[in-house]
A = this chain, B = another copy of it.
Amino acid sequence: MLKVIELKRTVTDSNDRDAALLRGELKERGIFLINLMSAPGSGKTTLLSRTITDLAGEAAIGVMEADIASDVDAARIKALGAESIQVHTDGMCHMDAGMTRAGLEGMEDRPGIVFLENIGNLICPAEFDTGAHKNVMILSVPEGDDKPLKYPLMFTKSDALVITKTDTLPYFDFDIEKAASRAKALNPDIAVFPVSAKTGEGMRAWEDWLISSRGEWNDA
């Protein structure tokens, strides 16, 4: 049976402190948490599905799907045999550290990589530290290469930018170099990975970054 957790809105003026606490607790438990953010329909679940399949045997991966309604994403991940949990945010447009902690309590407590698939939104999720060890954002080719200009905070807060749906580049006016340079103007350290989860192109570089980031975190 698919787990669904209904979260209630909480008001906290100490989210940053909660997030730092959660980050430390997860380190003790060997759980490397990645906060995955993007606009609706950018291909978060498809990217995760391919990543889980590609990394089978290399890393235990769990996924916490955050949505306002529905559990279609969690069902897709569960069908791959990965641990998957759905959280509902009571209409909230982002996840915070308290909500993330509550969601994680519904998951098995074992070392590995856990993805928090945040609410599809380029604005609010960037404003709240979830307690994750890395922030990753997705920009899909159909959305356009002007998004760093329009949603700068999200690019500033992310450790990596995955540009998805590159198999559709012939059909859209999207310049990967332009998107990357606009992102790097906001955040010189951001790692950029153009990928197609459909064809597999570019996936290994993204997956290598995941594995090496986890290794560095583990050794730190």
Q: How many residues of A contact B (CB 8 A)?
A: 34
A73 to chain B, nearest CB (A): 8
Task: From known contacts A142-B41, A168-B168, A171-B171, infer whether A93 and B121 are also in contact, taking CB-CB under 8 Å.
Answer: yes
Q: How many copies does the complex hold?
A: 2
Q: Is the CB of A40 within 8 A of B151?
A: yes
- Is A215 interfacial (CB 8 A cutoff)? no
How far does the alpha carbon of A140 sit from the alpha carbon of B168 in the complex, in Å?
14
List 30 contacting pairs A-B, 8 Å CB cutoff, sorted by A. Answer: A39-B39, A39-B41, A40-B143, A40-B147, A40-B150, A41-B140, A41-B143, A41-B147, A67-B150, A68-B150, A69-B150, A69-B151, A69-B152, A70-B146, A70-B149, A70-B150, A72-B149, A91-B127, A93-B121, A119-B123, A120-B150, A121-B122, A121-B123, A140-B142, A142-B142, A142-B165, A167-B171, A168-B171, A168-B172, A171-B171
